[in-house]
């Protein structure tokens, strides 16, 4: 099932056109990787999908359907709740681990202490962090390691029970061990969530994604099943990128 469908999307900042006539689906409970050289518009694409683009003064035309309904027809808060985002650098708030985890649910109206506790525990468990921090929930999140902070950022995005998770190069600041932990976790999370990940790491895309979209200079050059794109690319430019010709 296509949980998100993008039709003829054009995105610009001022007069600068960044994404050009891009159309593609995102399949529910699958991992889609967006790959392409630096500056081709991958992050812009992610921010468009949950209406964050306007916070960066960008504009789009074309259509983005979330569950067959135009995202503009939803309330902005509602879309950002259903389509959560995790950034490249871990973004813990300078608050306790517990407060990081309850911040968004409280914003969205959860008040019951037990319900909040359950949200904290179940989501920290999903990212494998609960065991590590269960005795230190009142400790500042800033004291966690980089890998732990990134897992906390993912757990925090899950506290509002999104359906889609957008991840913008979530492992680029992490070492191999923490990257492996996050990759394994994303594979597990994809049973429950739809995952869209921007990555520079082609091996990572190959390891974890079901579908790949290759973007070059704001154009979608190729989209398909990961193995097909990697082992039998249809477009010469995809092959060149995979061979390491572009940066």
Ligand X SMILES: Nc1ncnc2c1ncn2[C@@H]1O[C@H](COP(=O)(O)OP(=O)(O)OP(=O)(O)O)[C@@H](O)[C@H]1O
- Name the site residues for ligand X (rule: CB under 6 A): 13, 18, 36, 38-44, 56-57
Q: Between residues 11 and 158, which has the closer beta carbon with respect to ligand X?
A: 11
Residue number, 159 or 179, with CB nearest to ligand X = 179
The answer to whether 26 and 59 have CB atoms below 8 angstroms apart is: no
Smaller CB separation from ligand X, 41 or 105: 41
**Complex with ligand X: residue 56 or 231, whichever CB lies closer:** 56
Q: Which of 211, 230, 236 is nearest to 2 (CA)?
A: 211
Compare residues 28 and 206 and give the one whose CB is closer to ligand X: 206
* Residue with tokens 């968004």, as numbered in its chain: 104
Q: How far apart are CA 78 and CA 71, in angstroms?
A: 10
Lookup: tokens for 61: 């035309």
What is the nearest approach in angstroms of ligand X to the Cβ of residue 98? 32
13 forms beta bridges with: 16, 58
In the complex, the smallest distance separating the C-beta of residue 10 from ligand X, rounded to whole angstroms, is: 13
E strand or H helix at 21 = strand 16-27
Query: How distant, in Å, are the alpha carbons of 37, 91, 163 from that of 43?
Result: 11, 16, 19
What values do phi and psi take at 165, rounded to 5?
-120, 120
């Amino acid at each position: 099932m296509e949980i998100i469908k993008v039709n003829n999307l054009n995105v610009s900042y001022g007069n600068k056109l960044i994404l050009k006539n891009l159309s593609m689906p995102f399949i529910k409970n699958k991992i889609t990787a967006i790959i392409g050289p630096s500056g081709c518009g991958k992050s812009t694409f992610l921010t468009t999908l949950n209406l964050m683009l306007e916070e960066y003064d960008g504009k789009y035309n074309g259509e983005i359907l979330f569950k067959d309904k135009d995202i503009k027809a939803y309330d902005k808060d509602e879309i950002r709740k259903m389509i959560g985002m995790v950034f490249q650098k871990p973004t813990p708030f300078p608050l306790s681990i517990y407060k990081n985890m309850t911040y968004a649910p409280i914003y969205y109206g959860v008040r019951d202490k037990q319900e909040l506790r359950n949200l904290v525990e179940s989501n920290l468990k999903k990212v494998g962090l609960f065991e590590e921090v269960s005795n230190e929930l009142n400790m500042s999140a800033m004291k966690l390691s980089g890998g732990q902070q990134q897992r906390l950022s993912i757990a925090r995005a899950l506290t509002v029970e999104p359906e889609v998770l957008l991840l913008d190069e979530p492992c680029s600041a992490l070492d191999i061990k923490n990257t492996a932990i996050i990759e394994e976790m994303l594979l597990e999370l994809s049973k429950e969530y739809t995952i869209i990940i921007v990555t520079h790491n082609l091996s990572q895309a190959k390891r974890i994604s079901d579908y790949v979209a290759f973007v070059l200079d704001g154009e979608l050059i190729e989209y398909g099943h990961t193995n097909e794109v990697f082992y039998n690319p249809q477009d010469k430019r995809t092959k060149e990128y995979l061979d390491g010709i572009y940066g």
